[in-house]
């Protein structure tokens, strides 16, 4: 099996509560559509009617993309004015239908619908503790542990939001959560703020979503971001309530910097910072710090395009398109077998010979993980007649794995581990190679705190003693 050489994020989450009682399933569907880039393995929607029988939840989830999993007939059956939705890419727990979200729990206090983006690092301890007190797990994902903890804490809490706060004291790692109870919509973000979560409003409905682009898609206005460590509770009686008892000082915040470099859509804002501007800046910094004389600057679609534009604006070298991307290829497409001549890179991308022939090319990409993709793309440019290929990368070299929901693999699989930049350049076949300097990362995001663990090994919290990612895959 061909090892994937692009980064992937874990998930996208979306929730809505319409105080006027209108059905919300179609809004969740379109909101998730705007978040499809965050996960393409599975998707799901769960809704409830707050005026109907208390705790009755209707849900549908399946493997694949939204337009494969949901038909108008399925959406029509999902009647309810409060709901949560989820798109998933797995970093912990195998890719199966059972692991699709939202998770729906029926327990003594009613029902919970939960959607989670992120990755816990104390999963084994919590799972064993729950198993030894009688819990029976239906999935292999850490999100089910969060749901169980909330349900268990609810037995000794006055409110469901209090139970969420108690559960947050036990879980460690990255999480943005949207929880649907029979009469409340709750959003929670881990104290470090690894993953994004924002609040929107459309007429008399409130929305929680991973990215602001989802609010734009459904015609909602941005209200504010959920702060790192904050729990927000949305209800018709009290509007938005806030609990900040889990918040930590801002200088300890550790947002995933790859939201700005790669994961988030360029039209999103993450904690007040424009993703588009961050990528333009990254390209400008590359042009300042790693200049080279060339005829054309090109980006590897899609996330490399904006950094390439920034490089062009700063250097004065023309920006152009060198690649045609097959828009119909998602992460779930059937990969060609190694014995076949086709590579998955060539299925996804083709080079515009007329654009590159006889020219010195600066090629910008967002990252190099294992190096296999970069090697092929450089080769494709040379085959198309490029005279020189200079690669620039809008992130620093990966030297450490990520445990917080980005699938940066073990160190031994990283091309930058134990190699110099010149050695990497030689392996991928480029004429020169330059990475974004680590100290530039803070300039991409203003004064926001970010996690740089995958670049320097300094994690915001102690990583697990052993690499537990995928431990529960069966």
Catalytic residue, from 11, 247, 402, 451: name it: 11
User: How crowded is residue 357: how many other Cβ atoms within 10 Å of its Cβ?
Assistant: 13
CB 44 within 8 A of CB 119: no
CB 433 within 8 A of CB 363: no
* Residue 11 a catalytic site member: yes
The residues annotated as belonging to the active site are 11
């Amino acid at each position: 099996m061909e090892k994937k050489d692009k980064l992937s994020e874990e998930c996208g989450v979306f929730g809505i509560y319409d105080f006027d009682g209108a059905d919300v399933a179609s809004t969740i569907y379109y909101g998730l559509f705007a978040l499809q880039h965050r996960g393409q393995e599975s998707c799901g929607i769960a809704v409830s009617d707050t005026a109907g029988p208390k705790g009755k939840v209707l849900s549908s989830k399946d493997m694949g993309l939204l337009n494969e999993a949901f038909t108008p007939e399925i959406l029509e059956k999902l009647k309810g004015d409060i709901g949560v939705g989820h798109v998933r890419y797995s970093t912990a727990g195998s890719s199966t239908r059972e692991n699709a979200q939202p998770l729906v729990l029926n327990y003594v206090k009613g029902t919970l619908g939960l959607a989670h983006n992120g990755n816990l690092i104390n999963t084994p301890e919590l799972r064993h503790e729950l198993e030894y007190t009688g819990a029976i797990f239906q999935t292999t994902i850490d999100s089910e542990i969060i749901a169980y903890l909330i349900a268990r804490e609810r037995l000794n809490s006055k409110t469901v939001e209090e139970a969420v706060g108690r559960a947050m004291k036990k879980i460690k790692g990255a999480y943005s959560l949207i929880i649907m109870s029979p009469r409340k919509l709750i959003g929670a973000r881990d104290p470090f703020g690894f993953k994004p979560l924002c609040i929107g409003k459309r007429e008399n409905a409130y929305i929680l979503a991973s990215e602001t682009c989802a609010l734009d898609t459904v015609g909602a206005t941005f209200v504010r971001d959920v702060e790192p460590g904050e729990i927000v509770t949305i209800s018709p009686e009290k509007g938005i309530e806030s609990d900040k008892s889990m918040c930590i000082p801002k200088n300890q915040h550790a947002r995933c910097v790859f939201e700005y470099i790669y994961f988030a859509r360029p039209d999103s804002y993450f904690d007040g910072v424009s993703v588009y501007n961050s990528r333009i800046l990254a390209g400008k910094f590359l042009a300042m710090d790693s200049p080279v004389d060339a005829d054309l600057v090109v980006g590897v679609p899609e996330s490399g395009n904006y950094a390439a534009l920034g490089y062009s604006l700063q250097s004065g070298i023309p920006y152009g398109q060198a690649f045609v991307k097959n828009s119909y290829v998602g992460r779930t497409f059937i990969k060609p077998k190694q014995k076949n001549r086709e590579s998955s890179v060539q299925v996804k991308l083709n080079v515009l010979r007329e654009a590159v022939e006889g020219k010195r090319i600066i090629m910008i990409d967002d990252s190099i993980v294992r190096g296999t993709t970069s090697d092929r793309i450089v080769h494709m440019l040379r085959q198309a007649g490029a005279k020189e290929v200079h690669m620039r990368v809008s992130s620093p070299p990966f030297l450490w794995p990520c445990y917080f929901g980005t699938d940066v693999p073990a160190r031994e699989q990283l091309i930058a581990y134990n190699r110099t930049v010149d050695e990497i350049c030689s392996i991928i076949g480029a004429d020169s190679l330059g990475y974004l300097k680590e100290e530039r990362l803070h300039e991409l995001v203003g004064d926001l705190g970010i996690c740089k663990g995958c670049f320097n090994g300094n994690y915001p919290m102690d990583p697990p003693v052993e690499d537990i990612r995928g431990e529960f895959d069966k």
